[in-house]
Amino acid sequence: MIKVSAYSAAFSSLPHGLHPGPGIIATGLLKGGRTTSAAARYAQEAVAAMHMDPADLALVCICGPGGPMVQAFDNAWRQSPDGQLTGPDFARRSRRIHPFTLLRALQNQVAAHLSIHFGLHGPCLNALHHPTSLAWLMPRFARLLHTHRGILLVLAGAGEQEENQAVRRCLIGEGPALEGAVCLLLNQEPGLGILEPIPADATAEPNFLDRAAPIPMTGARLLRLITGSANEGILPLFDEGGQRAALRWRRT
Amino acid sequence: MSPFAPQPVAVVDGALLCPGDLSWEDLRSGHSAAVRLPETFPIRVGAPCTQALSHPTLPRGTALALEALQRLELDPDRTYGLVLGLPSLLSETAYVETALVHRNHPDGMRPVTTYTGRHALQRIAEALPQVGPCIRVDAACATGNDALIVGAEWLQAGLVDDVVVVCASAMLNPVGTALFHNLKALNDRDDLTISCPFDLRRRGFMMGEGAAVAWLSNQPTTSVRGWLCGYGQSMNAAGFTDLPEDQNAMLSACREALGGLDRVAYISAHGTATLANDAAETRLYRTLFGRQAEQIPLSSIKSMIGHTLGAAALIEALVCLEALREQTAPPTIHYKEPDPDCDLNVVPNQAAPIQGNFALSNAFAFGGHNSCVLLARERP
């Protein structure tokens, strides 16, 4: 089990059940920057909202889509004589793709950006896309808490713009739509409460919206448990492929 | 001893899918996978997988990962955790072409939903006989080492008794190469010897593609390929592509992996053939090992297979185990002009004997992510 000492979050809009307050902010829909993805910007806002120096912390990120990316190819695409990006003369037209496109598109963008912006030097792990990762990373959390002051756990994603939103709507229709980042500070000190893995309820049949929920939604559900009035609660975790896990939250 | 001190983890078996379908024997012999690329590419030379690996519906990265997995013989009665490393998405041309046209039309994106976030892990998990926890990790060029570390953590915590680590990269296509080329990371000369790590002539890396898979276990019942004995990670916090003058973060990751060792038999260098990386690595090893650095062979198989990005670190770790098993370091080929800033023993052009039980395999990735693993032939 791991102890949670602090939390913060930055959402495009506050999800149901969460209210603005210390550490929880609504930023509106964020766009990426020259070398920064939209997801990294939410993560930066969320870490800043925690109002602490994270420099000596280990970092664990669980990330969804970074934000809209294909627009970076528009200039090269629109000059194509046959409507295909990689059609004739792509070698020449490709020079119109901004050099920093690769950096914005890196799938470890959030971790890299947080490290650079906040001066994080410790160990880092970046996991992608799957809410169950939160349970499977418990061994990492336990190990790092014996060697580091604490862990900054960040769940971030920006999958509600352009191509990412189109994919989500294609797969699940008008389901839960949320961009943002949730941060938790994990350490050994007495804090808000304890998170521990528990056997997943094999009989519980999640609806498709639960299985396909974006990463920020998983973070929001966890925050509802932490900030809610109940002393205990369960966070079921599902993946589209049928994986399931669960965490129990207990307030201390 | 702390219960959280890493206990050695058995690497039961592994399989490679290298560019040119090169085997360990080919790498030991110094063969190159470099070929000339079609004119649609913005660069002239690369290292593709030469097998006609394609799948009607799967992205190429997923197809390469599945091909590598099929090369491994798993025990069908065991349950495997799965750690997948597959940096991709914008590297897949079909996805970008479709998204440019249909970015605001959900139905139009349907043909490429298999390229998006969650599909790859599910597809590869289906190829395992029985599957336990599954996770997908991404640390750019350090993905392979991070994936090994997560697998080791699972085993050391008893989450599972067997883990399959799969890493793949399929960025050797017009879109993927354009992204790296515009960042000036690639060598774009028309020369099949452009991949020349540690050489004075080096001007960036040659891109490859490929995959690798490793089976880690708490309960190896057959002879093992080797052992994963230590690991370390850190962040430079210096910039996405910068290598800082202050190497403390890189040193920290290496020292954590070494666990007190002051010497190893072999170093698998990150060795990308960029001006900055190779010089920085030389400085790093001199600081890490002092005078002994000159006696430790270090080489870069990227000289032969290019930089396979998300697959590179896992390919290199498995090659390290072969090198330890045969007590032979693979060469750094295309080495012609020594660079005084890279003056360690880079095993130039021909394989060389090594002596010892341990090898250090390093990956220093975009985003300033450092990931190092210590491998052994015999369980220490």
Residue A131: alpha-carbon gap to chain centroid: 10
Residues of B in contact with A76 (CB under 8 A): 178
Residue given tokens 């110094």 in the structure block: B30
- Say what the alpha-carbon torsion angle B197, B199, B201, B206 is, to the nearest 10 degrees: -10
* Min distance B111 CA to chain A CA atoms (Å): 10
Per residue in B99-122, pLDDT tens? 999 999 999 999 888 887 778 999
Whole-angstrom Cα distance, residue B324 to residue B318?
10
Question: What pLDDT, on the 0 to 100 scale, is given for residue A168?
Answer: 86
State whether B122 and A65 contact (CB < 8 Å).
Answer: no
Which of A235-239, B33-37, B42-46, B158-162 bottoms out in mean pLDDT, i.e. has the lowest?
A235-239
Query: How is B18-68 classified by DSSP, letter by letter?
Result: -GGG--HHHHHTT----EEPPTTSSSSEEB---S----SSS-HHHHHHHHH
Q: What pLDDT is stored for residue B4 in this prediction?
A: 47
Give the residue carrying structure tokens 């090198």. B323
- Among residues A65, A61, A51, which one has the least CA distance to residue A6? A51
Find all residues with CB under 8 Å of B108, minimum gap 6, and list them: A166, B98, B101, B102
Position A129 scores a pLDDT of 87
Q: Is it the case that residue B53 has pLDDT exceeding 80? A: no
CA dihedral B196, B200, B205, B211 (to 10 degrees): 40
Residue B328 reports pLDDT greater than 80:
yes
Q: How far is B25 from chain A (nearest CA, A)?
A: 33
Set of chain A residues whose Cβ sits within 8 Å of the Cβ of B100:
70, 73-74, 77, 85
- pLDDT tens-digit readout, B152-204: 999 999 999 999 999 999 999 999 999 999 999 999 999 999 999 999 999 99
The whole-number average pLDDT for the span B293-322 is 98
Question: Which entry of B307, B342, B369, B372 is annotated as an active-site residue?
Answer: B307
Q: What is the pTM of this model?
A: 0.96
B102, B117, B235 ranked by CB distance to A129: nearest: B117
* B136: contact with A, CB 8 A cutoff: yes
The pairing of beta strand A180-186 with beta strand A2-11: antiparallel
- Please tell me which residue of chain B has the smallest CA distance to A111: B367
Pinpoint the alpha helices (H) of B220-274. Answer: 248-258
For chain A, residues with pLDDT lower than 70 are 175-176, 202-212
Q: Is the pLDDT of residue B364 over 70?
A: yes
Q: Greatest CA separation found in chain B? A: 63
Identify which of A122, A135, A162 has the shortest CB distance to residue B104: A162
Spatial distance between the Cα atoms of B49 and B68, rounded to a whole number of angstroms:
12
- Inform me whether the pLDDT recorded for B273 exceeds 60: yes
Roughly what angle, to the nearest 10 degrees, separates helices B248-258 and B275-289? 50
Please give, one letter per residue, the 3-state secondary structure of A16-79: CCCCCECCEEECCCCCCCCCCCHHHHHHHHHHHCCCCCCCCCEEEEEECCCCCCHHHHHHHHHC
Contact A148, B235 (CB under 8 A): no
Residue B1 has pLDDT above 60, yes or no: no
How far is it, in rounded angstroms, from Cα B45 to Cα B38?
9
Where residue A51 falls (left for φ over 0; alpha for ψ -120 to 50; beta otherwise) is: left
Mean pLDDT, chain A, integer: 91
CB A220, CB A15: distance < 8 Å? yes
Contacts of B219 (CB under 8 A, 6+ apart): B161, B162
Of the listed B196, B270, B334, B372, which one is catalytic? B270
Instruction: Measure the N-to-C terminal CA separation of chain B; round to a whole number of Å.
Output: 15
Give the count of beta carbons closer than 10 Å to the beta carbon of residue B239. 16
For residues B280 and B201, give the distance between their C-alpha atoms in angstroms, rounded to a whole number: 16
For an interface test with B, the pick among A36, A70, A92, A162 (most B C-beta atoms closer than 10 Å) comes out as A70
Distance from CA of A89 to the nearest CA of B (A): 7
Q: Which of residues 59-88 of B touch A (CB under 8 A)?
A: 81, 87-88
* Alpha-carbon gap: B105 to the closest alpha carbon of chain A (Å): 6
Counted across chains A and B, CB pairs separated by less than 8 A come out at 236
Tokens 């012999």 correspond to what residue? Answer: B29
Query: CA-CA-CA-CA torsion for B345, B351, B353, B354, nearest 10 degrees?
Result: 60
State the nearest Cα–Cα gap between B311 and chain A, in angstroms: 15
Q: Which residue has the tokens 């994986």?
A: A243
- The per-residue pLDDT for A240 is 74
CA distance A104 to A68: 10
Interface with chain B: mutation pick from A102, A188, A198, highest number of B CBs within 10 Å: A102
CB B109 within 8 A of CB A170: yes
Higher pLDDT: B295 or B53? It is: B295
B323 phi, psi to nearest 5 deg: -60, -40
Q: What tokens were used for A208?
A: 């498709």
What ipTM describes this predicted complex?
Answer: 0.96
Tell me if residue B334 is catalytic. Answer: no
**What's the pLDDT score for residue A202?**
64
Q: Which of A152, A167, A168 to probe by mutation at the B interface, max B CB count within 10 Å?
A: A167
B8 and B217 Cβ atoms separated by less than 8 Å: no
For the cut 50, the answer to whether the pLDDT of residue B3 exceeds it is no
**8 Å CB contact of A86 and B93:** yes
Give the mean model confidence (pLDDT) for residues B344-364. 98
Q: What is the pLDDT of residue B203?
A: 94
DSSP string, A170-237: HHHSS-----EEEEEEE-SS--SEEEEEE---TT----HHHHT--HHHHHHHHHHHHHSS-SEEEEEE
Output the pLDDT for position A86.
92
Q: Is B345 helix (H, G, I), strand (E, B) or coil?
A: coil
Distance between CA atoms of residues B288 and B282, nearest Å:
10
B105 reaches A (C-beta below 8 A): yes
**Cα distance between residue B261 and residue A62, in whole Å:** 33
Residues above pLDDT 90, as percent of chain B = 86
| Cβ contact, residue pair B157, A73, below 8 Å | no
- The token pair at B28 is 């030991």
Is residue A23 within 8 A of residue A50, CB to CB? The reply is: yes
Task: Judge: B234–A133 Cβ closer than 8 Å, yes or no.
Answer: no
SS (H, E, C) B57-73: CCCHHHHHHHHHHHCCC
Nearest residue of B to residue A133, measured between CA atoms: B135
Which pLDDT score is estimated for B2?
39
The yes-or-no answer on residue B167 being catalytic is no
